[in-house]
């Protein structure tokens, strides 16, 4: 698209992130209601629902926007030169707004007060270490995957997030927009607003460290696909090469 921003891309980020948060928060509410106080069952249900939704959402929106749904991923893509700089701010704003709308939609679906603030404390070295590990791992999977296995990346990201719910102490937020939005729900998925800045700071550090690590490991960084998952781009490139 010439002469300006293709607003379909930020719009796709808005819709995709909204559905992601509706899945995270909504499944947490449902799990808590049905698990009869069993936190392990609630977390399992929350993780599986989130991973399944993420897989579907990446497949749906990757051909349009790259399906970032995550400011940390968008900024890493910007640093790698894999997204137009003019799209950076619209992506960040739409991801953040979409995340908040998704939380409110979950509250509406479950007949809860729309406006809430979380009382769920998540702080301390262990939680911060968990967020560093979760974000480092997510960005590593994405940055490696878009270089070497783009067609399998939706499943890889979804499976990683599902697993990271369980192997990280923080249950793997790994996303500044998700973290901000989850401070607005006093449900199973919530995080106290006072704990948000530290989580986002650690996520930024984790994402930056992963970006530097992948650049060192993959010296042929220019071979990366521009989107989070872009099999359609590869098909077009193959078709163009066969026409030569």
Which residue is it, tokens 């989580």?
A: 199
Domain assignments of the chain as residue spans, ordered by start: 8-239
The secondary structure of residue 7, as a DSSP letter, is: T
Reported as a single tens digit per residue, the pLDDT across 114-169 is 999 999 999 999 999 999 999 999 999 999 999 999 999 999 999 999 999 999 99
**Closest C-alpha to 104, from 31, 176, 22:** 22
Reported as a single tens digit per residue, the pLDDT across 194-218 is 999 999 999 999 999 999 999 999 8
Q: What is the CATH number of domain 8-239?
A: 1.20.1080.10
- Phi (first) and psi of residue 85, to 5 degrees: -65, -30
The answer to whether residue 12 scores a pLDDT higher than 50 is yes
- How far apart are alpha carbons 122 and 169 in whole angstroms? 10
The answer to whether residue 173 scores a pLDDT higher than 70 is yes
Reported as a single tens digit per residue, the pLDDT across 37-92 is 999 999 999 999 999 999 999 999 999 999 999 999 999 999 999 999 999 999 99
* Average pLDDT over every residue of 170-189: 98
Does the pTM of the predicted model rise above 0.85?
yes
- How far apart are alpha carbons 134 and 130 in whole angstroms? 6
Tell me the CA distances in angstroms from 111 to 19, 83, 107, 189, one per residue in order.
Answer: 18, 39, 6, 17
Name every residue whose Cβ is closer than 8 Å to that of residue 184 and which is 6 or more positions away in sequence.
100, 103, 104, 115, 116, 117, 118
What tokens were used for 76? 């890493």
The answer to whether residue 21 scores a pLDDT higher than 90 is yes
The pLDDT assigned to 193 comes to: 98
The pLDDT assigned to 192 comes to: 98
DSSP H helices in 2-87: 8-34, 39-65, 71-79
The pLDDT assigned to 79 comes to: 95
- Is residue 172 within 8 A of residue 162, CB to CB? The reply is no
């Amino acid at each position: 698209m010439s002469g300006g921003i293709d607003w379909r891309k930020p719009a796709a980020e808005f819709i995709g992130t909204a559905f992601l948060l509706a899945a995270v928060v909504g499944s947490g509410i449902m799990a808590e209601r049905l698990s009869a106080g069993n936190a392990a069952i609630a977390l399992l249900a929350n993780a599986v629902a989130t991973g399944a939704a993420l897989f579907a959402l990446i497949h749906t929106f990757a051909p349009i926007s790259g399906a970032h749904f995550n400011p940390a991923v968008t900024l890493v893509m910007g640093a790698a030169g894999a997204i137009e700089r003019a799209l950076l701010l619209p992506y960040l704003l739409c991801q953040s707004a979409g995340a908040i709308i998704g939380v409110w939609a979950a509250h509406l679906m479950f007949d809860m007060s729309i406006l809430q603030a979380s009382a769920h404390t998540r702080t301390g070295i262990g939680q911060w270490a968990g967020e560093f590990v979760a974000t480092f791992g997510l960005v590593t999977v994405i940055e490696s995957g878009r270089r070497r296995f783009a067609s399998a990346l939706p499943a890889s990201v979804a499976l990683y997030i599902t697993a990271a719910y369980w192997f990280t102490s923080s249950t793997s937020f790994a996303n500044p927009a998700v973290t901000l939005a989850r401070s607005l729900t006093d449900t199973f998925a919530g995080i106290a607003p006072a704990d948000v800045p530290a989580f986002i700071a650690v996520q930024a550090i984790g994402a930056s460290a992963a970006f530097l690590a992948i650049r060192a490991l993959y010296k042929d960084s220019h071979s990366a696909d521009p989107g989070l998952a872009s099999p359609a781009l590869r098909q077009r490139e193959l078709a163009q090469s066969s026409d030569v």
